[in-house]
Structure 1
């Protein structure tokens, strides 16, 4: 049974912070032994937790980033950009072993490739204080890799009356974890993309994949990229298209989608209304470079 949303509460966004180095304007993808040159480049704070948190804050909802953050030169160089996002940073756990974490993003037309490095463990020292924060209403877990490390995160959030969402966020080593659904038990809102849904269910057809996922989660919002998205709640499934726009960079669009959905759902709206808001947020995101680029362009 899905908990009743808290209309005014804050979202805690749990996950890792990365330095996104985004190379665009490639004529091809890199090959071993060959060098390519990009026509455009941007360096921005990234990671699903930060991007979703930033978009939630931009929508006007209190948004706290719950993450470890390095003290190395690369991490500290991003501090100013993070400060400018309007996030509540009281639960940011600064630790010298938490960085550098970075992702190299290579964009060729609508195709992307990623190369990332994780540092240390995922659990912030501030986790218990964060979920006990009186203003917190919802915990968003931005990647299954974090839940895989913090197997108590969902149960702990529920004990404090928080609703919980999970974006699996593709991970080659974990996306087919046989214990995935067991570890994700208790999640109120599941937010995969089509590739993740296929890996989890074995179904290539989104409707068939959705049918399986709906057995495990009370509310599923399935991202289909340029083909829009689907939502399943209360035994009903709805699909909406996405508008056609000039795509600059799809990095972080799924995380922006998550923010639009969560903010609207927490406001008490139905699944269909939340889906429309999510598609709008994701569509806005792809029209700028980097996961928070659309927020900088709007400011």
Structure 2
């Protein structure tokens, strides 16, 4: 494994997350020892990624500048939300530097103050080029300019929802890297997210071949 992107620390580094997952809700409680992380801008300059995938809604002037540099260097910027409690006005400058933003329904509603998920997506699409909203058992929707699509989630036996959002994101990015259209990207994302909940953690996440088979109806 190429370790050039890792940050080395002196001594043990405690990083523990307890997942509290039930039938109607899920929560995570985390503890992490303090650690100095390289600024995002330095990481972008050093590694020049083809895709910069941020699993959490990071904001601030430094983040906006780093994302702008990443895009100028040709990177596609994909950002999840991860329940960061902010309003759209506080993160507008950062989201303007994001190519794809993928909150869940609750996060989209809270960010925008909209009354429906569809309206929230439209508000976000005024800032971000592509908006993808995860709707759990109801599937997902995507909006890019005037192009809109919504897909249901297949009925599955849910074992554990931990990691489903990350698997969803991976499926969407995989479609983008392959040059797929918006609907196919969304279908891959739904396929990956839905499959992942059928096992503990992300152990049931599909391979590329399995995801493609699910999308094709095989």
TM-score (norm 2): 0.83
Q: Is 1:293 aligned to residue 203 of structure 2?
A: yes
CA distance in 2, matches of 1:294, 1:208: 33
Counterpart residue number, 1:274: 185
Change over 3 Å in CA distance of 1:221–1:125 after alignment to 2:
closer
CA offset digits 1:251-274 (Å, max 9, x no partner): 110110000001111211111000
Offset from partner CA, 1:130-150 (integer Å, 9 cap, x none): 54436x3111111124x4495
1:276 to partner: Cα distance: 0.1
Distance 1:237 1:263 in 2: 19
Q: Which moved more, 1:200-209 or 1:271-280?
A: 200-209
SS state at 1:106 partner = strand
Q: What is the aligned partner in structure 1 of residue 28 from structure 2?
A: 114
Kindly indicate whether the alpha-carbon contact (under 8 Å) linking 1:91 and 1:127 is maintained by their aligned counterparts in 2. Answer: no
Does residue 90 (structure 1) correspond to residue 4 (structure 2)? The answer is: yes
- Larger displacement relative to structure 2 (265-274 or 92-101): 92-101
Q: For the Cα contact (< 8 Å) 1:110–1:249, is it kept in 2?
A: no
> When you count helix as a share of all residues, which structure comes out higher?
2
Q: Which has the higher contact order (CA 8 A, sep 6+)?
A: 1
Please report how far the alpha carbon of residue 186 of structure 1 lies from its aligned counterpart in structure 2 after TM superposition. 1.2
Equivalent residue runs for 1:121-136 within 5 Å: 123-124=37-38, 128=42, 131-133=45-47, 136=49
Measured after TM superposition, the shift of residue 171 of structure 1 is: 2.6
Alignment of 1:194-273 (within 5 A): 194-273=105-184
Shift of 1:178: 3.6
Q: 1:104 to 1:208 in 2, by over 3 A?
A: same
Distance 1:252 1:199 in 2: 22
CA distance in 1, matches of 2:131, 2:200: 28
Gaps of 5+ in 1: 1-86
CA separation in 2, counterparts of 1:286 and 1:218? 29
Aligned equivalent of 2:55: 142
Structure 1 residues 140, 242: closer, same or farther in 2, change over 3 A? same
CA distance in 1, matches of 2:30, 2:193: 22
Q: How far apart, in 2, do the equivalents of 1:253 and 1:229 lie? A: 13
Question: 1:19-49: per-residue Cα shift (whole Å, max 9, x none)?
Answer: xxxxxxxxxxxxxxxxxxxxxxxxxxxxxxx
**Separation of aligned partners in 2, 1:153 and 1:160:** 11
Contact 2:88 2:112 in 1 (8 A): no
Using the TM superposition, give the Cα deviation of residue 295 of structure 1 relative to its aligned residue in structure 2, in angstroms: 4.7
Shift of 1:125: 6.6
1:167 aligned to 2:75?
no
Equivalent in the alignment of 2:214: none
State the 1:102 CA deviation: 2.1
- Residue 104 (structure 1) aligns with: 18
